[in-house]
Amino acid sequence: MRYRTMGNTGTVVSVQALGTMTFGAEADEETSGTIIEAYVEAGGNFLDTADVYSKGVSEQIIGRWLAAHPTEAQQLVIATKGRFPMGPGPNDYGASRRHLTDALDSSLARLGVDSVDLYQIHAWDALTPIEETLRFLDDAVRAGKIKAYGFSNYLGWQLTKAAWIAKVHGWAPPVTLQPQYSLLVRGIEHEIVPAALDQGVGLLPWSPLAGGWLSGKYTRGTAPSGATRLGENPERGMEAWGPRSEDEHTWAVLDAVREVADGAGTTSAAVALAWLDAQPAITSTILGARTVEQLQQNIAAVDLDLGADALARLTEVSTPQTEVYPYGPQAVQQRFRPIVP
C-alpha cells in the first residue's frame, strides 16, 4: 500500500479508501466485516461511509467492527457524510445547522466514537446559506467532534466559494472533495480539478470503475445479467446500460483499457484504477466491493505502474467531447500564455 496526506492536512491515508455503501445492502454484516479485515491486512487505513448508506446500517456495522477490533481501530481514519434525507420531515435533510447537528451526533453514536477524522457535506444545499454550513463545521472542529471536513458532489465554483468564505472568516478550511471520476467520467477536469488544485483540496473519487463498466465484465451487444449491479438493474442510476452502451465513446475507452491490461498482464479494473491514481489532486480513490475477492482484485492496482505511453494513450482515447467554447482546445489555450510571446 502507498500513502498520501489527506488534502492539505497532516493526516496520512492510504491511496485506496474503502467505500462502504454496500454494507448492509449488497454485503451483510459478516461479509462487511471480512471486507474490512482484508482491507486492513492489505495496509488500507481509510474508511468512508455516510449516514444515508442503508439508512445508518453501514455506520452501525462499522461501529461494531471498530468496537470489536480496538487495536486496528486506532490506526484507521474514519470519514462519514451528512445531508441527504434520514427521515420524512422538512428538517431531516439538508446542510442547515439544525439538521447537521442531529446528523453528526447520530453518526457518532452509530459509529461508537467521540469524533470522526473527516466529516463531509454529501451535496450542495441551495436552500441553506453556505455561511451557516461552514460555521457549523468550524464549530464542530473546535468542539472536537470532527478533525477536518470536506464536501461531496460540489461544483468548482461551489468549492471555491466555500473555501474563500471560510478563509475570510478565519474558519477551518475544507480539505477534501468527493466527485465522480473515472476514465468514462472526466467532466470534472474542466472546473472542479483546477479549483481543488487552487485550494489545496484533495480529491477522493467515487465510482472509479464507472459502476462496473471499467471492470471488463461488459461486452458490446451483450446486455448484462447475473449478480452484477447492472445485471440486477440495467437502468441503475448514471451508469444505466442503455445510454452508455449506445455511445461509441464508451466502447473505444473500454477497448483501449482492455488492450493495455492484456499488454501488462493485469485486469481492466487495475488499469482504470492506476490511471485515476496518476491524475492531479488525487488523495485516495474510493473502492467499493460486494465481496473480499472484488476488493483484493482492485487493491492489486496499487502496485501497477502503467508507464507514460499507456497513460497518454488512455488519456487521449477517454478525452470527453466538448463544445468549441469554453472547453475546446483553442479556448483552453487562451487561458495560458508563455513568458515570451
Q: Give the integer Cα–Cα distance in Å for 171 and 135.
A: 7
- Output the CA angle 87-208-55, nearest 5 degrees: 15
Catalytic: which of 53, 93, 119, 149?
A: 53
> What are residue 113's phi and psi, to 5 degrees?
-130, 160
What does DSSP assign to residue 197? H
Q: Give the integer Cα–Cα distance in Å for 269 and 288.
A: 12
Q: Where are the beta strands (DSSP E) in 122-277?
A: 149-152, 176-178, 202-203
Nearest to 315 by CA among 341, 290, 280, 281: 280
The residues, any chain, with a CB within 8 Å of residue 100's CB and separated by 6 or more, are 82, 83, 121, 133, 136, 137
Q: Give the integer Cα–Cα distance in Å for 307 and 310.
A: 6
Q: Is 53 a residue of the active site? A: yes
CA distances from 179 to 122, 193, 201, 284 (A): 10, 10, 12, 12
Q: Which residues are the active-site residues?
A: 53
